Amino acid sequence: MTKLRVEFDKKICVGNGVCAAIAPQYFELLGKKAKLLNSKQLSQSNKNSCFIEGHCDENAAKQLIEAARGCPVNAIRVIDKEQNKDIVSNKVDGSNIKEIFAEYDDLKEFVIDNAGYFLIRLDRKNQNIEVAFCNEKNKIILKVTGKKPVDIYHAILSKEKLNIRMEHAAYLGRELQKAYIALKNNLEYIQDDELDINKKTG
């Protein structure tokens, strides 16, 4: 048994429900916010923050820790009460970071992906984005059609497990987002060109 304290800040919760999915006996999603079940208010002045504290078994502790780690906005803090230290902190630690200003020169730094290349176009009639992957010049081995970038890149990378370079996967995400914005706003889409928000299609 471990003694844990779990603190939850409702104000910053964005309600994606990860905590409730991982630790349903502790968190519940009510509308657009999570609720820490059976909790007490942290202080009189702060109505948004609450906590629970007590002994829990290994499985419950694991769920609470995973829920806190899975929270994208640091709304959950888990403290080991026996050691009196954070297991999952809700503070960002910037004391030991490498900081860089990013610059990229396409002409000098571009590395070709020998796995192949993508062709992306819009099907405006059906409001779809179509992506083809060629493993050699003009030879398509995969075609994926979808409505949203996330559907398409998951199909290509997670489901079809296309083995491409990391920066090529990032390129795919960037192009899909551009294609999606063009589709939704009736803008011209030309793969690899910057979007021109003044260039509407017919």
Q: Could you list the residues that contact ligand SF4 (CB under 6 A)? A: 13-19, 27, 34, 70-73, 75-76
Of 8 and 180, which CB lies nearer to ligand SF4 in the complex structure? 8
Of 17 and 142, which CB lies nearer to ligand SF4 in the complex structure? 17
Nearest-approach distance from CB 88 to ligand SF4, in angstroms: 11
Q: Tell me the CA distances in angstroms from 66 to 35, 63, 132, 155, one per residue in order.
A: 16, 5, 37, 26
Nearest-approach distance from CB 119 to ligand SF4, in angstroms: 37
Nearest-approach distance from CB 72 to ligand SF4, in angstroms: 6
Nearest-approach distance from CB 70 to ligand SF4, in angstroms: 6
